Structure 1
Amino acid sequence: METSTFVYDGDCAFCTSCAEFIERRIPTAARVVPWQFADLEALGLTVAECEEAVQWVGADGSRAAGPDAIAKLLAASGPLWRIAGAGLRIPPVRVAAWPLYRWVARNRHRLPGGTAACSLPQEARERLYGPTGRPTTGA
């Protein structure tokens, strides 16, 4: 793998909004890709891991999840963002970041840009909306 990869939930509108912010505002050489379009096997990731949290797979094969993945992404970005990434790695901040991350993940459907589909596991989303994300008509 030549490039680091940041993997997020592309079926979640809140997550997609965050990924679009990253692509617009955070200069990084990392690929930012929804897990639904990523080669998870090549990245060494599972669907369960990707449903649980954002994932970072470094060009060197290093891995991180949740706020640790965000810290890695920021560390691989421009100078000001690297400072924020370093801040996320400070032990007390890192310890506090996980409960906050889990709260956001559980409530992402209530956050700006979120939709009801954001709160469902992938299996339920596919059952309701199909693999394309459009509501199924029931046959």
Structure 2
Amino acid sequence: MGAVLIYDGDCGFCSACVRWIERRIPTTARIVPFQFADLDALGVDAERAAHEVVWVDPDGRLHGGAQAVAGLLMDAGGPWRPLGAILRIPPFRWAAHGVYRLIADNRYRLPGGTPTCALPPADRPGA
């Protein structure tokens, strides 16, 4: 199995980010909303997938948040690979984590975000 990037498909901001990634970053990973992923087979907890983007390495190792983004960039290669590598090195790793959490915790306020982004998955319409 190849790498997989799991994101929140109910979130407009997250979906817009994924569309940007698909147009500009040549990853070999399969990118799938957690709502349609076989989370058990991937070893990902649904609560974690709702909380942060998750990168599943081909060997099954999990990376969340900013480290998931780093995994995606490393996988893309070319000029993206050094950026992904930098995101894995302290203190850049720590800064990336802080920035990721700030964005993720406020995604419903960002362009493309919706009030649904602020709700826990169990409380979203259609859940």
Same fold per TM (> 0.5)? yes
Measured after TM superposition, the shift of residue 78 of structure 1 is 3.0
Q: Which residue identity does 2:32 align to in structure 1?
A: V
Distance 1:63 1:120 in 2: 24
Q: Take 2:60 and 2:34, find their aligned partners in 1: how far apart are those partners?
A: 17
AA aligned to 1:102 is R
Alpha-carbon distance in structure 1 between the residues aligned to 2:45 and 2:16 = 23
Measured against aligned partners, the alpha-carbon deviations of 1:39-88 in whole angstroms (never above 9, x if no partner) come to 00100011101011100111111110000011011000031111210121
SS at match of 1:79: coil
Q: Is 1:5–1:58's contact at 8 Å kept on the other side of the alignment?
A: yes
Q: What is the identity percentage for the equivalent residue pairs of Structure 1 and Structure 2?
A: 52
Residue 112 (1) aligns with residue 111 (2): yes
How large is the Cα RMSD of the aligned pairs?
0.9
Tell me how far apart the structure 1 counterparts of residues 113 and 63 of structure 2 sit (CA, whole Å): 24
| Alignment-derived partner of residue 75 in structure 1 | 74
TM-score (norm 2): 0.96
Aligned residues: 127
SS at match of 1:76: helix
TM-score normalised by length of structure 1: 0.88
Match of 2:126 among 121, 127, 130: 130
Q: 2-side partners of 1:98 and 1:89: how far apart?
A: 10
- Matched residues in 2 for 1:83 and 1:119: separation? 33
Q: Secondary structure of the equivalent of 1:91?
A: coil
1:28-43 alignment, distance < 5 Å? 28-43=27-42
2:10 maps to what in 1?
11
- CA distance in structure 2 between the partners assigned to 1:106 and 1:56 by the alignment: 19
Preserved contact between residue 26 and residue 78 of structure 1 (Cα < 8 Å): no
Separation (CA, whole Å) in 1 of partners of 2:77 and 2:89: 19
Give the Cα–Cα distance (whole angstroms) in 1 for the partners of residues 87 and 9 of structure 2.
Answer: 24
The secondary structure found in structure 1 opposite 2:106 is helix
User: Which aligned segments of 4 or more residues in structure 1 are displaced greater than 6 angstroms?
Assistant: none
Higher Rg of the two aligned structures: 1
Which residue in 2 is equivalent to 1:53? 52
Q: 1:18: how far off?
A: 0.6
